[in-house]
Amino acid sequence: MAGRIEDYALIGDMQTAALVSRDGAVDWLCLPRFDSPAVFAGLLGTDEHGFWRIGPAEATPAGPVASAPAPRAPFTDSGELKVPPISAAAPAVPADRRRYRGNSLILEQEWDTPRGSVRVIDFMPPRHLGDQEPVPQMIRIVEGLTGRVRMRSAVRMRFSYGKVVPWVHRVEQQNGGHRTVAVAGPDSVWLDGEAETYGRDLTTYADFTVDAGERVTFALTWQASHLAPPEVPDAEGSLALTEEFWLDWVAQCTYQGPYRDAVVRSLITLKGLTYAPTGGIVAAPTTSLPEDIGGERNWDYRYTWLRDAAITLSSLLRTGYREEARAWREWLLRAVAGDPENLQIMYSITGQRELNESVLDWLPGYEGSAPVRVGNGAAGQLQLDVYGEVVEALYLAQMTGLSRNDHAHLLQLRLISYLEEHWKAPDEGIWEVRGPRRHFVHSKVMAWVAVDRTIKLIEQTPAEGPLDRWRALRDEIHADVCEKGYDPGRNTFTQYYGGTELDASLLLIPQVGFLPPDDKRVIGTIEAIQRELSTEDGFVLRYPTHDESGNNVDGLSGHEGAFLACSFWLADDLAMIGRVAEARELFEKLLALRNDVGLLAEEWDPRLKRQVGNFPQAFSHVPLIDTALRLTACGAAYLSPQPHAADQPATQPV
C-alpha cells in the first residue's frame, strides 16, 4: 500500500519526476516524460504495479547508533553474508530523517539501526549536464554513516502503468560485470549498480552491506528499446553537476524576505515541474491522486493548463526568472499557433491538443480511489477566464522587461477580438465543473482583465489597437458583473449570475484590480467567503459541492477538501483590507501544512487532517510565493503583487 501523500518527496530532471516515500520506495516514475506511462505505478495500486525500494534489510526498532563497527555475527571475516538472501522485499522502514540537500532537488534520507546509520541520496540529473547521453536517469547512492548496515534494493519494473511485465535479463560486460535490462515494446530500462543482483518473483534484488564512509551506487536509465544501450552513468560526477546546477539556479532568486526558505523551496518545485525542452509547465507530476479519499474526484494533472502556467510565470518573473518566462511565451505561441479562436484551457507539455481521457481499470487507485484516469476530458471545455490569465502573463512579461515579441502581441490582440464576440457566453468556469455551463462571475472578471491589460499595454508601449472601442468594452463588462453578479441584500458577489452560492475565486476580484480593496462589495465578499466557505481550521473550500437538499452541484459525487490556493488568496485579501495580523496567522497555518520537505498537494482534508489531490501541485506553490511577497511588502505601503496600475514602476519587486 502506498504511503500518505505527504510522505512523498519529489525528485526530477525537468522532463519527468519521481515520488520517493520516506521508506525509500519510488512508487511513481513516468519515463521518459511527465506524461509518459509509468514504469513504477505502485502509488496507484500495490507493489505489483511497480516500485523501487532501497532501505535497511531488517525491520527492527532502532537502538543506540553504534559509533564504531557493529558486531559481525551475521557476516564472515571477509564481510560476506552468512545467511541466504532474504526472500521478501526489503521491509518498509520509515527513514528517521530526510531533507533536500541545501537548495536543490537532491533528496537525502537517513535511517538509524541497531548496527549503524545509513543515508540514501536520490536525484535525477538534468539531461543537459555533463558529457553523458541526454537520457532520463535516476541515481541512488547509499552512504554508510556509522557502523555496518545490511541493506537491500528491490526493483519491480512494470511498464504501461503496471500492466505490462517486461522481459528482464542480464547483459554481460567485457569487464566482467553485468547490467540488468527490462524491455517491453518501445521502452527499455537499464539498472546498473555496484552490488550483485539476482532475480526472484519477477523482482530484481541486491543484498549488500555498507560500512561507515563507504558509498554504493545504483542507477536506472531509460532508453528507446531499438537503440544501443545507454552509457553506464557516472553517479558521483552527476551528483556534483546536479548540485551545482541547482545552486546556480537558486542564486538568481531576487526575493530576500522573511519567508525566503519557503519561497525558494516552492520555486525549486515549480522549476522541477517545467518541461525544459519546450517551456511547458505541468500542473502536477501525478494523475488520479484523489481530492476525496475513496471517491471519483481523480484527474490527470500531467499537462499544461494555461491558467496554472500563466500564474506560475508571473511568480517566476517577480522573483527574477526571466528565461523561464521567455520559454513559456514561446511554448504558448507554438501551442495556440494561428488559431486563438479555438484556444484550449490545457495542452500537452509539447503543445499537443488531443488529451483524450481514459480509465486504467487494472489499477485499484490510491487507497481505493477509482477510477484512475489518464488524459483529461476538461481539455475541451470553454473557460473564458483563461484569456485573462494568458493576457495578464503576456502583459506582465513585457512590463518587467522581457523583450517584445511581435507574434505574442498579435496573439494578444486576436484574443481580445475573440472576447469581444464571446465574453457574454456561459462557460464551465475556473473549477472545470462537469455540470451545466453558467455565467460564472470569475470568468467575466477575467475577461475584463484581458481587455484592461491590453488597453494598458497600448497606453504604455508603441503597441496599437482600437482604444476607444476596447475602453467601452471594458466598461461594459465591469457594469455587467456589478449588476448581475452581485447580491446587494447579502453584500457579496456570487458564483454565477442569478445564483446565491459563493465561490472562492471571487477573492481574486481585488487582486486583479477589478475593484479596490476598500470597496464595501469587496469587503462583504471576503467576509462572506470567510464565514460560509471556511473550514474549522480557517482554510477555504472552492465552492459548496452540495446544495441545501444534499445534491451534488458540480456533476460529481463525494466531497473535497479545502483548496490550498484559495486559502492563500484569503490571506492575500485580508492583508489588502488591512487585517495584516490575521493574514499572517493564516499564512503561517498554511505553511505548517507543508510536509517535512516543504511540499504541498492540491487540497487539505479537514476531516482526515492530511493532504489530498495531485502532488506536488503548482497551483498551491504559486500562491504561497505570491502571499509571501505581499506580506513582505506590508511592512511599507501596500504594493500590488502584479504591476496593474499604469503608474507602477516596472522594477517593482512584488
Mean pLDDT lowest for which of 372-376, 547-551, 610-614? Answer: 547-551
Using the predicted structure, report yes or no on whether residue 35 has a pLDDT greater than 80: yes
354-393 burial, b at 16+ Cβ within 10 Å, e below that, comes to: ebeeeebeebbbbeebbebbbbbebbebbbbbbbbbbbbb
Q: What is the mean pLDDT of the chain?
A: 88
Cα separation of the two ends of the chain: 43
- How far, in Å, are 234, 334, 382, 466 from residue 411 at the CA level? 45, 11, 18, 15
Using the predicted structure, report yes or no on whether residue 523 has a pLDDT greater than 80: yes
* Closest among 333, 264, 556, 524 to 428, alpha carbons compared: 556
Using the predicted structure, report yes or no on whether residue 75 has a pLDDT greater than 50: no
- The pLDDT tens digits of the residues spanning 571-609 come to 999 999 999 999 999 999 999 999 999 999 999 999 999
- The pLDDT tens digits of the residues spanning 453-512 come to 999 988 988 878 899 999 999 999 999 999 999 999 999 999 999 999 999 999 999 999
**Given this model, what pLDDT does residue 120 score?**
98
Using the predicted structure, report yes or no on whether residue 89 has a pLDDT greater than 70: no
Are residues 634 and 575 in contact, defined by beta-carbon separation less than 8 angstroms?
yes
Are residues 23 and 291 in contact, defined by beta-carbon separation less than 8 angstroms?
no
- The count of C-alpha atoms lying within 13 angstroms of the C-alpha of 10, restricted to the half-sphere facing its C-beta, is 30
- How far, in Å, are 19, 340, 382, 398, 640 from residue 417 at the CA level? 43, 10, 16, 20, 28
Band of pLDDT at residue 547, cut at 50, 70 and 90 = low
Strands 203-211 and 187-193 turn out to be unpaired
- The pLDDT tens digits of the residues spanning 208-240 come to 999 999 999 999 999 999 999 999 999 999 999
Are residues 287 and 372 in contact, defined by beta-carbon separation less than 8 angstroms?
yes
Are residues 577 and 516 in contact, defined by beta-carbon separation less than 8 angstroms?
no
Taking residues 194-208, what's their average pLDDT? 93
**Given this model, what pLDDT does residue 558 score?**
65
Question: Residue 396 is which amino acid?
Answer: L
Q: Residue 29, by phi and psi: left (phi above 0), alpha (psi -120 to 50) or beta?
A: beta
Those residues whose C-beta lies under 8 Å from the C-beta of residue 436, and which sit 6 or more positions away, are 426
Are residues 307 and 332 in contact, defined by beta-carbon separation less than 8 angstroms?
no
